[in-house]
Amino acid sequence: MIKRKLVGTLGVIAIVAAACGGGASPKPSLDLPTSIGAGEGELNLVIWAGYAERGDIDPGYNWVGPFETASGCKVTVTEMTDSSNGVSLMQSGQYDGISASGDATTRLIAGGTVAAVNVDILPNYANVFAGLKDLPHNTVDGVHYGVPHGRGPNLLMYNTDVITTPPTSWDPVWEDGSMYNGKISIYDSSIYIADAALHLMTKQPDLGIKNPYQLNDAQFEAAVKLLEQQRDNGANYWGSYSDQVAQYAAGDMVVGTSWQFQVNLMQAEGQPIAGVLPDEGSTGWSDTWMIAKDAKNPNCMYKWMDHMMSAEANGQATVWFGEAPTSQQACDYAETLSPGHCELTHADDEAYYDKIWYWSTPQADCADTDAATTCKDQDAWVEAWTQIRGA
């Protein structure tokens, strides 16, 4: 009965969202489910690699198995290669939920692809750090569209056999005529243009870049030029983390941009690899579990969202990926797996995360208050990336 009610209310949300679709942003609907019913038996997720482990690589890290046992929801996952890919997968309507980064969440909300979430029926939400709640990438007009999973910066990953003094800046990947020519490993996604913009913020302050994701024509052109120079310096591009790990392991790559996840994987294998956050800061991500507007298994998704905020699951997942846990309880649990984890990832250190530019969507109106359209939009970024990679 409760289940039917939930499905019914979600149906209403779906109709409202559909009616508001087609460009206009959906009106906040307060018609949310008021309780979680019985699980539907399965759950289809779009995830970042490493976000749903069942102990295959390390039996100590298994938060999918216990969830399946407790909820009866069999979990099937599809890994996205980048945020645009995640948005595209969610638009297919085949998935119940996604672990979306900030550059995907806003697009999913505006496109009506995801539904509002009643966080009051998720018991673990109360424990989440206040600094992760009610942020522009997970809340619109006071309506919640998901729950936090974890956050962290993109790191400079390098081979400690080749680079013996830890780098303190991103220069090794940008320098013209760098000594690591042909051995620079770069993330293959249009969002990486922001890393070039971030570098320009310190190197060319006269360009006046305030936000690396909202660039005007001149700023954008400078960033693209820098990326073309990097490409001509022999940069290599990784689409999946396993490619990058294989290339570093073979010694083909020496320095580049990466996630803590790869650093952890390679250090666990005893490889001479380290990751640092350079002084000028970095781009990063803050990920959110979101539920699809027309999710076929809404109860399982609600159960999953709550599960992923629990101390055990969040503690394991964030240690596994090397990102910051979302609650003090998860932090405490994470410490039992990896002592010092919360300090290392600055879990509740908002000052630290002020240095991190979370991935967000490039928008024509610069995502600011005045309505002038002076910035390059998402399509322009993707096209520029095609040009950088294809020429």
By CB under 8 A, name the binding residues for other proteins: 21-23, 81-82, 84-85, 87-88, 91, 107-108, 110-113, 190, 236-237, 239, 246-247, 250-252, 361, 363-364, 377-380, 382-383, 386-387, 389-391
**Short-list 137, 87, 290, 261, CA closest to 187:** 261
Q: Which is nearer to other proteins, 86 or 172 (CB)?
A: 86
Q: How far is the CB of 204 from other proteins (least distance, A)?
A: 25
Q: Which is nearer to other proteins, 141 or 354 (CB)?
A: 141
Q: How far is the CB of 106 from other proteins (least distance, A)?
A: 8
Q: Which is nearer to other proteins, 185 or 318 (CB)?
A: 185
**How many C-beta neighbours within 10 Å does residue 372 have?**
9
Q: How far apart are the first and last CA of the chain?
A: 58
Q: How far is the CB of 139 from other proteins (least distance, A)?
A: 18
**Short-list 227, 157, 171, CA closest to 194:** 227
The H or E element spanning position 228 is helix 217-232
Provide the pairing of β-strand 255-258 with 155-159. antiparallel
For residue 338, the cross-strand partners are none
Q: How far is the CB of 356 from other proteins (least distance, A)?
A: 23
Q: How far is the CB of 183 from other proteins (least distance, A)?
A: 10
**Gap between the Cα atoms of 304 and 45, Å rounded:** 10
- What residues contact residue 12 under an 8 Å CB cut-off, 6+ apart? 29, 31
Q: Which is nearer to other proteins, 271 or 328 (CB)?
A: 271
Give helix then strand counts, H and E, for the chain.
15, 14
Q: Which is nearer to other proteins, 104 or 128 (CB)?
A: 104
CB contact at 8 A, 193 and 223: yes
Q: How far is the CB of 357 from other proteins (least distance, A)?
A: 19
Vertex 84: Cα angle to 79 and 85 (nearest 5): 35
Q: How far is the CB of 223 from other proteins (least distance, A)?
A: 17
**Gap between the Cα atoms of 31 and 332, Å rounded:** 35
For residue 165, the cross-strand partners are none
Q: How far is the CB of 82 from other proteins (least distance, A)?
A: 7
Helix H segments across 63-208?
A: 64-71, 83-91, 102-110, 171-174, 193-203
Q: Which is nearer to other proteins, 70 or 246 (CB)?
A: 246
Q: Which is nearer to other proteins, 258 or 326 (CB)?
A: 258
Q: Which is nearer to other proteins, 273 or 342 (CB)?
A: 273
Phi and psi, residue 51, nearest 5°: -95, -5
Q: How far is the CB of 294 from other proteins (least distance, A)?
A: 14
**Gap between the Cα atoms of 312 and 334, Å rounded:** 8
Q: How far is the CB of 371 from other proteins (least distance, A)?
A: 14
Amino acid at the residue 319: V
Q: Which is nearer to other proteins, 31 or 377 (CB)?
A: 377
Vertex 355: Cα angle to 349 and 361 (nearest 5): 110
CB contact at 8 A, 189 and 385: yes
Q: Which is nearer to other proteins, 207 or 364 (CB)?
A: 364
